[in-house]
Amino acid sequence: MIIALASGKGGTGKTTVCASLVRIWDKPVQAVDLDVEEPNLALYLKPELSGRLISEMEIPVSDQEKCTACGACSEICQFKAITVLGEYLLTFPEMCHGCGGCLAVCPEGALSLGARELGEVLWGQAGEIDFLMGRLRVGEAMSPPLMRDVKKRLDSSRDVIIDAPPGTSCPAINAVKDADVIVLVTEPTPFGFYDLKLAREAFTPIGKPMGVVMNRTGFGDAGAYDYCRATGLPILLEIPYDRRVAEKYSQGEVIADALPEFRGRFIELAARIRELAAGDLKEVSNG
């Protein structure tokens, strides 16, 4: 089973929930940080890393001697990553999406394959937990190809719990699209409600069961609860606002370990996620 923890916006506690869920999971599990622009699951699980590979993307490299400035490459490129200026060919590697179109149409063989470094894939162990993450190179904007390289190392013999990037753009969709269950972490505030709505609308076409973790309950307003009730989104877990959670989080501790009274809540969350995946969800609140 693949479980993706996602959120319509950052700062809802997605990684906090992910770290605790991984820690209480009672089957072999692989924890995967796909929030490659800002991976921080490792700060909590503290894995011992044992492997690393550099993720690269193929880009065109030009040979001015062979180029006749015909412009065919520039015409096919949808990303303005290659253009002809007078008789000079200019390439903009950071804008290239690696589609290979320009190489396919060049009649002179003036383009060859080069590579751009996207970031790194790292893996290791945190006790019994298999750990895997991607980290985007500073200044790199293209995260989906790096995420694909991370996903090549998913372990199908284990349950996989993914810490997905926040938001609803390409990286977030990429992280959740292969999941069996999507868990949306939000909070009962107007921002939380708005971004929960965006996330539900963005992920609904994927057609996977979705549930909600309502974090920092006990303040804010009823908007997110009303939305869950109206759309039939089950609330799988409520985590009350508690200063100790913020303190432990800021000290890099896993809440399920540091605050034993919270451990049972995450065990209940695991049970509900399994029920949701099986289409057999019982006894949930929706506010």
Query: Which of 17, 29, 31, 111 touches ligand SF4 (CB under 6 A)?
Result: 111
Give how many residues touch ligand SF4 by CB under 6 A.
29
State how far the Cα of 68 lies from the Cα of 150, in Å rounded to an integer: 39
Tell me how far, at minimum, the Cβ of 80 lies from ligand SF4, in Å: 8
Task: Output 11 or 109, the one with its CB closest to ligand SF4.
Answer: 109
Task: Output 97 or 274, the one with its CB closest to ligand SF4.
Answer: 97
Quickly list H helices, 121-189: 144-151, 170-176
Decide if residue 211 touches ligand SF4 (CB under 6 A). Answer: no
Decide if residue 118 touches ligand SF4 (CB under 6 A). Answer: no
Task: Output 113 or 230, the one with its CB closest to ligand SF4.
Answer: 113
Neighbours of 226 (CB within 10 A): 13
Task: Output 60 or 192, the one with its CB closest to ligand SF4.
Answer: 60
Q: Is the dihedral of CA 259, 263, 266, 270 positive or negative?
A: positive
Burial per residue of 84-115, b for 16 or more beta-carbon CB atoms within 10 angstroms, e otherwise: beeeebebeeeebebeebbbeebeeebbeeee
Task: Output 59 or 245, the one with its CB closest to ligand SF4.
Answer: 59
Kindly identify the residues of this chain, within the stretch 34-73, that bind ligand SF4 according to CB under 6 A.
59-60, 62, 67-73
Query: Which of 38, 108, 201, 247 touches ligand SF4 (CB under 6 A)?
Result: 108
State how far the Cα of 207 lies from the Cα of 150, in Å rounded to an integer: 23
Q: Measure Cα distances from 122 to 144, 161, 237, 253 in Å.
A: 16, 16, 31, 21
Tell me how far, at minimum, the Cβ of 257 lies from ligand SF4, in Å: 46
Tell me how far, at minimum, the Cβ of 92 lies from ligand SF4, in Å: 8
Decide if residue 144 touches ligand SF4 (CB under 6 A). Answer: no
Tell me the per-residue interface mask from 78 to 107 with ligand SF4, x by CB under 6 A, - otherwise.
-x-xx-x----x------xxxxxxx--xx-
Q: Measure Cα distances from 119 to 64, 122, 133, 148 in Å.
A: 29, 10, 11, 12
Task: Output 80 or 244, the one with its CB closest to ligand SF4.
Answer: 80
**Interface with ligand SF4 by CB under 6 A: which residues?**
59-60, 62, 67-73, 76-77, 79, 81-82, 84, 89, 96-102, 105-106, 108, 110-111
